[in-house]
Structure 1
Amino acid sequence: MASQIFRICTHSGSFHADESLAVYMLRLLPRYQNSSLVRSRDPAQWEQADIVVDVGGKYDGTKFFDHHQRGFEETFNEKYATKLSSAGLVYKHFGKEIIGEVIQSKDESVLELLYDKIYKEFIESLDANDNGVSKYDNLTEKAKFNDRNITLPSLVSNLNPHWNAEQSDEDFDRQFLIASELMGNAFVNVVKNYGLSWLPAKKIVEDSFNQRFEVDKSGKILVLSQFAPWKEHLYEIEKSNDKEGEILYVLFEDSGKNWRISTVPITSASFDNRKPLPENWRGLRDDALSKESGVEGCVFVHAAGFIGGAKTKDAVLQLARLSL
């Protein structure tokens, strides 16, 4: 028996980032993978469709996923105040399933974690943009530069046929598919980054945090089993364990098989760190550094005191202990 061909409907005419992504996300699900797409403002077309996105004036979480109607106040959950766009609505109802398809996982704890993370880091900004919500609390704050034409919503907007060029339904439909592909590829890359790179890194940092007292009785030094992006995870793990600001140094093997000692920035965007490496080591290299520190096998300490290196794990651990 032939599988059912589902029909997705969204509005005709000019398009935006939210419905461009919403349609692409639906098509990531096996049942909608080969679905047909109709772009129309004709209610008869809505009724014939299996799912209606960004048009129709209704939201029921089953067939209709519009956000333009009077009284619509739906948010992702109680933690968020941003009203959903069609992208947010589709993501709210199908997000975990979509993520599972992209990263090929059925682990509910993984999907739940990524479901919230990806909304916060990607989908919410599209919801806000489509609903006219500024990211600034102070609306008089002046931007240092104009990034309008490099944002995803702007890139999508610029794919619409020009006002002074041919604007047939076919032209809009053709350009919509290009916009949907643009938004969809960006979304899939974000999901893969968080699911296949960010999440494994968290496990490495979490394990090293739990083993910190085996490294040093102070509990202020982490040794990563392998290098992974660690800063964001460390701040979150410290906070969740009520240990904010506790870790001072993170040690890991670099690509050249030497070892690094890194200080921990006060914040992810800060150039200041919790405890710089000793001033008398800064800017020294090799034998001069080994002589000054009393540790054999040193390679360097940066002149700013935020990172250093040595030939072995034992050597950087000695540097960390001395730096405490």
Structure 2
Amino acid sequence: MREWVGGGAEPHMRSAEGRGVLRLRMRGGDLKGRCRSAVGMLLWRRCCACAVMRGPLRAIPIMAAAITGSGTGPKRARTEPVLRIGTHDGTFHCDEALACYLLRLLPRYRDAEVVRTRDPQRLAQCDVVVDVGGEYDPERHRYDHHQRSFTQSMRSLQPSKPWTTKLSSAGLVYCHFGSQILAGLLGQPEDSPVVTALYDKLYENFVEEIDAIDNGIAQTDGEPRYALTTNLSSRVGHLNPRWNDPDQDTEAGFKRAMELVGSEFMDRLDYYHRAWLPARVLVEDAIRRRFEVDASGVMLELPQGGCPWKEHLFSLEKELELHNPLLLVLFPDRSGQWRLQSVPVGPRSFESRLPLPEPWRGVRDEALSQLTGIPGCVFVHSSGFIGGNRTREGALEMARRTLALQGGGAQSG
């Protein structure tokens, strides 16, 4: 049995001088100017947008020594016993690496030692145990999922949630502590719309995949068409010693695994908080203004490209009870030209609701303008899901022509 205290300094954090804390390094520009006009529109505008516009995630008061295991500043005198997070030794996986990382984001466990062992006596001395021990007992902070009797999912533990994937140790920790962790990082109440939205988003798009892979749940029925070998779980797995390495010690690799999953978790939270969440405001505003773009009401115009609009569009279609589906989205690209993109049939689908006309596909520039009779055409993708024009008016005319040629109908409200 080995004990490991802390982990390497996360690449997404930097030490705040003289204070021994770590502060998140944020990416991207300030969204306040772009979203200010939308503040006040529904609950999201009153709560979510305002929270996002405050700027970077709040500083996390984690002592540098607790992360690195050494620390360069003066040591803080310990006034309380050191808490211990127990997990198994030997070959490690993504789920327990993330579970340990998440626990150490909680104030209670921020200085905790990570004890890697399968010795029941050693595990009994730990304050919280994940992915080992053969029991799930949240009152005693035991979070294993390998026992035959374990069948818990996010939905079984929180009936308001839709996800039925069997939980791993990562999902168990996230289920019980995720809202508290996010509230602390964001400086928001646990029941705020911001925390609720990001809690769901991070589970569905980050933690659930780890749960499924660790429990051996296939993503699709039948034989996959190609291999996925660069996901986070695979990359963590490759940090284990190779079978023929002379040194089979796993301690350094587990430390790197915690750093890797922690970096990706925080980076994903940063993106969802600073980019994905504000995009909802823009998409909702575009939906409400859709008849100003075209009388059909099936086209949206976004003020800029790169906005993650798809998932918001599908959820807002349901929430706003639109009678007919939205079909096309227009937006400027970074060069100042315009794009028109077909709405897919689902958030993760490659199939389009209304692809651009087949004769246009794969044709470019002047040849495309002559074919369509629309000046300024740049391209239409070979699959028909997106096209481009030099001007807004040209892109809008391509969208209208697509609607006429492909048989789209008008929306009535």
The TM-score bracket by the shorter chain reads 0.7 to 0.9
Once the two structures are superposed, what CA deviation does each residue of 1:127-171 show, in whole Å capped at 9, x if it has no partner? Answer: 22222322333xxx3333444x43433333333334455567xx2
Query: Which residue identity lines up with residue 32 of structure 1 in the other structure?
Result: Y
What's the CA shift for 1:322? Answer: 5.4
Once the two structures are superposed, what CA deviation does each residue of 1:5-40 show, in whole Å capped at 9, x if it has no partner? Answer: 432111222222211111011122333222211112
Going from structure 1 to structure 2, the CA distance change for 1:24 and 1:303 (only over 3 Å counts) comes to closer
C-alpha distance in 1 between matches for 2:358 and 2:226: 38
Q: 1:155 aligns with which of 230, 235, 243?
A: 235
C-alpha distance in 2 between matches for 1:265 and 1:65: 39
Q: Equivalent residue for 2:350?
A: 270
Once the two structures are superposed, what CA deviation does each residue of 1:174-213 show, in whole Å capped at 9, x if it has no partner? Answer: 2211222222223223333333222222221122112213
What's the CA shift for 1:238? Answer: 2.2
Contact 1:260 1:316 in 2 (8 A): yes
Query: Which residue identity lines up with residue 153 of structure 1 in the other structure?
Result: S
Q: 1:257 aligns with which of 320, 332, 336?
A: 336
Q: Equivalent residue for 1:21?
A: 98
Equivalent pairs, count? 315
Superposition pairs of residues 136-285 of structure 1, within 5 angstroms? 136-137=220-221, 141-147=222-228, 149-165=229-245, 171-227=249-305, 228-243=307-322, 246-267=325-346, 268-270=348-350, 272-274=352-354, 276=356, 283=363, 285=365
Contact 2:368 2:377 in 1 (8 A): no
- Structure 1 position 31 matched with structure 2 position 108: yes
Q: 2:215 aligns with which of 111, 131, 135?
A: 131
What's the CA shift for 1:232? Answer: 3.2
Q: Which runs of 5+ in 2 are unaligned?
A: 1-76, 157-161, 404-413
Going from structure 1 to structure 2, the CA distance change for 1:198 and 1:151 (only over 3 Å counts) comes to same
C-alpha distance in 1 between matches for 2:358 and 2:236: 51
Q: 1:88 aligns with which of 171, 194, 204?
A: 171
Percent identical among aligned pairs is: 40
Query: Which residue identity lines up with residue 99 of structure 1 in the other structure?
Result: L
Structure 2 counterpart SS, 1:150? coil
Q: 1:122 aligns with which of 184, 188, 206?
A: 206
Contact 1:103 1:192 in 2 (8 A): no
Query: Which residue identity lines up with residue 322 of structure 2 in the other structure?
Result: K
Q: Equivalent residue for 2:151?
A: 73
What's the CA shift for 1:279? Answer: 5.8
C-alpha distance in 2 between matches for 1:42 and 1:288: 70
C-alpha distance in 2 between matches for 1:11 and 1:282: 54
Structure 1 counterpart SS, 2:137? coil
Going from structure 1 to structure 2, the CA distance change for 1:10 and 1:204 (only over 3 Å counts) comes to same
Going from structure 1 to structure 2, the CA distance change for 1:263 and 1:69 (only over 3 Å counts) comes to closer
Pairwise CA RMSD of aligned residues?
A: 3.4
Moved more, 121-130 or 257-266: 257-266
What's the CA shift for 1:102? Answer: 4.8
Superposition pairs of residues 305-320 of structure 1, within 5 angstroms? 306-311=386-391, 313-314=392-393, 316-317=395-396, 319-320=398-399
Structure 2 counterpart SS, 1:252? strand
Contact 2:344 2:352 in 1 (8 A): yes
Moved more, 265-274 or 175-184: 265-274
Q: 2:133 aligns with which of 35, 39, 56?
A: 56
